[in-house]
Amino acid sequence: MSTVARRTFKGVAFLLFGFVPLAAVVYGLDAGRLPSSLVARFDPSGIPVAWISRSRFLGLYLACMLLIAIAGSSIALLTPEGWVPDLTSWVGLVGLFAVAGLIVHSEKVTLAQVPSPFFDPWVDSTMLTTIAMALAWQLFGWTQL
């Protein structure tokens, strides 16, 4: 039973790589009709104050998604042979999926050219990726017990 649970945990962790093409598809669907420069930051009154090129925007989001996918998958690969996933580990893995989903949402908001949930794409992606890395580090600790 423990081998099946461990294999399932690994399989689910590798599904994080699904967010990489998802980010590219979201970009591909929305970016074609946008100008070459996107509003990257709005001031508190909703006036644009910073810009980012479309290609740089895509690179930023793909890099963040790839980093999260590699972190989650690495954790699954580095678990000890006899380790069985517990509730805490599953919650941590679900947390990584939630952060990746928030990054896709942040990308959609920026592509819609409306005020971002936080500040700008760099802050959104950096903050969310930092949260994901902290969660991945914690998840790695839980899986080594």
Q: How far apart are CA 66 and CA 138, in angstroms?
A: 19
- In single-letter form, the type of residue at position 111 comes to L
Q: Which helix (H) or strand (E) holds 84?
A: none
| Half-sphere exposure at residue 99, Cβ-oriented, CA atoms within 13 angstroms | 28
Indicate the pTM of the whole model: 0.77
Q: How far apart are CA 11 and CA 87, in angstroms?
A: 16
- In single-letter form, the type of residue at position 57 comes to F
What are the extents of the domains in the chain?
2-143
CB 74 within 8 A of CB 143: no
Report, as an integer, the average pLDDT of 79-85. 83
Percent of the chain with pLDDT over 90: 0
Q: What is the pLDDT of residues 14-61, one digit of tens each?
A: 888 888 888 888 888 877 777 788 777 777 777 878 788 888 888 888
